[in-house]
Chain A
Amino acid sequence: DAGVIQSPRHEVTEMGQEVTLRCKPISGHDYLFWYRQTMMRGLELLIYFNNNVPIDDSGMPEDRFSAKMPNASFSTLKIQPSEPRDSAVYFCASSGLVSNEQFFGPGTRLTVL
């Protein structure tokens, strides 16, 4: 298995633009997580899905952020409009069972100018 796949690996955009981050979880995994990591705040859980259904989105910072999982093999995290403070590394992770290990992707480094 190729592991969790994220794209793009790097994204540079200007303030106000829409940004879409993509994630392909490991096949057969039922849980998908989106995290954000910054120097100031560390690694934060934004939202997670179970069987394509959002379970907890309390970590989503504001309405500019939205996440979808249209099927078991694909998820997106969208920021519209983007702001410089959204600059961070965004990780996607997937897991097969509750209380089981989470497998993280390589991350997307987002820079908003």
Chain B
Amino acid sequence: DAKTTQPTSMDCAEGRAANLPCNHSTISGNEYVYWYRQIHSQGPQYIIHGLKNNETNEMASLIITEDRKSSTLILPHATLRDTAVYYCIVFRGGSNYKLTFGKGTLLTVNP
């Protein structure tokens, strides 16, 4: 599976949009982009995933560039409870169902 690069940490003001970038320049055509987050001392939580098109759900939006080499997770109105480590994962699925978690981005939402 393709490797991903994320900033180590980011800050965001409460109520503002949080935009978390991820580079995956070696992504293949059949690989998905997944985002998970891990709030301190809890298990990781699925947020959203996409292949080519932008995706939106009740938690976030995922913007994937046309060349698919990078993506951005958007939390439209960040709250203090969104403080967590956010993981961007490229995943093929099929016969190999391994999710490889990198170091992620520590997002700190400040009051």
Give the size range of A's interface with the partner.
20 to 34
Taking a contact as CB atoms under 8 Å apart, the answer to whether B32 and A99 are in contact is yes
Interface of B is mostly: loop
Most buried by B among A91, A102, A105, A106: A102
Q: Which residue of A lies closest to B42 (CB)?
A: A106
Docked complex Cα distance between A105 and B45 (Å)? 10
Contact B99 A42 (CB under 8 A): no
Could you say which interface size class chain B belongs to? 20 to 34
Complex partner residue of A42 from B91, B93, B103, CB under 8 angstroms: B103
Inter-chain contacts of B94 with A (CB < 8 A): 98-99
Most chain A beta carbons < 10 A, residue from B38, B46, B102: B46
A34 within 8 A of B: no
CB distance from A104 to the nearest CB of B (A): 3
B96 contacts A91, C-beta separation under 8 Å: no
Q: What separation, in Å, do the CA atoms of A98 and B32 have in the docked complex?
A: 12
Interface residues in chain B, defined as those with a beta carbon under 8 Å from any beta carbon in chain A: 32, 38, 41-46, 49, 87, 91, 93-94, 96-103
A interface residues with partner B (beta carbon < 8 Å): 4, 31, 42-45, 48, 50, 55-56, 91, 93, 95, 98-99, 101-107
Interchain residue pairs with CB less than 8 A apart (11): A31-B97, A42-B101, A42-B102, A43-B101, A44-B101, A45-B98, A48-B98, A56-B96, A56-B98, A105-B43, A107-B43
